[in-house]
Amino acid sequence: MAVCDGYASVAPIWWLLPTRPAAAKTPLKSRGPHPDSAYSSLDHSHGTKMLKKIPIAELRLGMHLHAVEGSWLDHPFWRSKFVLTKVADLQSLRTSSLTHCWIDSEKSLASAATPPGDETQNSAETLFAPFVLSGDTSGRAATAAEDSVPFDEELKQAARLCRKSKEVVKQLFGDVRMGKTFDPQCIRPMVAELAASVFRNPGALISLTRLKTKDDYTYMHSVAVCALMIAFARELGMDVEACRDAGLAGLLHDVGKTSMPLEILNKLGKLSEAEFAVMRSHPERGHELLIKTGTAGLAALDVCLHHHERVDGTGYPRGLLSGEISLLARMAAICDVYDAISSSRPYKFAWDPADSIARMASWVGHFDPEVFPVFVRSLGIYPSGSLVRLQSGRLAVVVKQHPKDLTVPTVKAFFSTKANMPIAVVRIDLSRREAHDAIVCREPRGSWNFPNLEALWAGESSQT
Ligand SMILES: [Fe+2]
């Protein structure tokens, strides 16, 4: 697959996410809705028809707060526009001196449409079960629930799903390339299976989908973006159906590449200007293909067309600004790039998962700064498979996220930098006092040449 998505321009900024300052706000200088009616309901313009004034008392979790009526001095948050997902935030607004606010119904989550109740009195688990959001801001712990199946246990199931999904996508893309008709809804059961795996333990499937070969890259990338979208949607508090819609959209986001000439698609070197222009048409070609099916759904249509848009307006094909790009498309832009830069490929250097997140966080203007932290929470600051250096001088691979604190995952230590030699592999839960160790930093993979790092966390499942 040719490198065509412009990820090469890496800002030389390295810093750790936990010490990241508040993200700079991207000005929301909306240019109004784009005249593209097929997916206008998902293109969140700031037209007044989507805004509704309501009393603060009627504000609910899942609603997108657009503005408050009254002095901003009384507004308890530094952000002005965001989806209310935390009980603590809702309580802050209700106890402020504000009386009314404006909500954007198009940007609100489906859960906001449920009958009103006293959310500050009910448990968060009841409100968002089984995908809970709480007032906790300490990371994926904010979604409260422990993974229902341990990482190691889910790996086998996830490996089986990876193999099966890869074949289904390969068949689908092959059929589309040959001009055969297809029904996107036929792959919905498979998406439901992938979603079930992500719900049981997101780390297992997502980690495995990073392992790609030259031959299966395109198909596995689609499966990876599907899994990432599901985990992301879950972290945002979307319900099961919405998570599956997001997954289906992720699976089909690059279907337009089936319309690209193979000599360009498979070119290993840098693309010429003309070739790049052809490749940049894949969102529109994919959108056309999906419209023809008649059953793709608005989410898939929207994500397919807009997954290369950037919040600063420098993306393609439309050059939309943040306020004009739907939430799903902004999510897909993040998932697409994360998988592209963190995937192991024989002919391409892949960044470590934790490196990938840190680098993406430094690219101002590419991604929505308000939802990017949610994506990080869905994976962990040190996603499973990340190489880290411990205080003891040992190198370790992250194998499991802690449900309450993303800075203290479970790791497998395997190398001593002091002795400069491998050590017996030892599993360490860094959240436990008796661990007597901690992560010092992400360790650049390029500094070492560990040939079987994946086997450390994935075992036999690394051979997908
Ligand atoms: Fe793409």
Nearest-angstrom CA–CA distance, 464 and 462: 6
Residue 112: band (very low, low, confident or very high) from pLDDT cuts 50, 70, 90 = low
Question: What distance in angstroms lies between residue 21's CA and the mean position of ligand 1's atoms?
Answer: 30
Q: Which residue has the tokens 């860094």?
A: 430
> What is the predicted pLDDT for the residue at 74?
56
How far away, in angstroms, is 252 Cα from ligand 1 center?
Answer: 10
Q: Which helix (H) or strand (E) holds 276?
A: helix 273-279
pLDDT for 181 equals 86
CA of 296 to the centre of ligand 1 (A): 17
pLDDT score of 71: 60
Cα separation, 235 vs 335, in Å, equals 13
CA of 286 to the centre of ligand 1 (A): 9
Task: Kindly report, residue by residue over 182-214, the tens digit of the pLDDT.
Answer: 899 999 999 999 999 999 988 889 989 988 887
Spacing, Cα 212 to ligand 1 middle (Å): 17
Distance, CA 307 to ligand 1 centroid (Å)?
A: 6
Q: 435 CA distance to ligand 1 centroid (A)? A: 43
Task: Report the alpha-carbon distance of residue 384 to residue 203 in Å, rounded.
Answer: 6
Question: What's the gap in Å between 308 CA and the centre of ligand 1?
Answer: 6
CB-based burial, 209-227: b 16+ in 10 Å, e otherwise: bbbbeeebbbbbbbbbbbb
CA 224 to centroid of ligand 1, rounded, Å: 13
Rounded Cα gap, residues 64 and 140, in angstroms = 21
- Is pLDDT at 399 greater than 80 in this prediction? yes
> Do 37 and 316 meet the contact criterion of CB atoms below 8 Å apart?
no
Rounded distance from Cα 227 to ligand 1 centre (Å): 16
Per-residue confidence at 458, pLDDT binned at 50, 70, 90? confident
Q: Could you give the CA distance from residue 226 to residue 335 in angstroms, rounded to a whole number?
A: 9
pLDDT at residue 50, as a whole number: 77
Helix 217-235 with 240-251: angle, nearest 10 deg: 160
Looking at per-residue confidence, does 29 or 372 come out higher? Answer: 372
Question: Domain map of the chain by residue range?
Answer: 39-122, 151-379, 387-463
> What per-residue confidence (pLDDT) applies to 69?
75
pLDDT at residue 426 above 90? yes
Nearest C-alpha neighbor of 425 from the set 449, 453, 400? 453
CA of 235 to the centre of ligand 1 (A): 23
Are 448 and 395 in contact, with CB atoms under 8 Å apart? yes
**Separation of 130 CA from ligand 1 center, angstroms?**
32
Mean pLDDT of 23-44: 30
pLDDT value at position 101?
83
**Average model confidence (pLDDT) for the chain?**
77
Residues 103-130, mean pLDDT to the nearest whole number: 46
- C-beta of residue 274 within 8 angstroms of C-beta of residue 17: no
d(CA 318, ligand 1 centre) in Å: 14
Tell me yes or no: is domain 151-379 CATH 1.10.3210.10. Answer: yes
Q: How far is the CA of 123 from the centre of ligand 1 (A)?
A: 40
- pLDDT over 60 at 22, yes or no: no
The Cα-based distances of 155 to 200, 209, 212, 266 in angstroms read: 11, 11, 16, 30
Tokens of 95: 């106890």
How many CA atoms are closer than 13 Å to the CA of 96, on its beta-carbon side?
A: 23
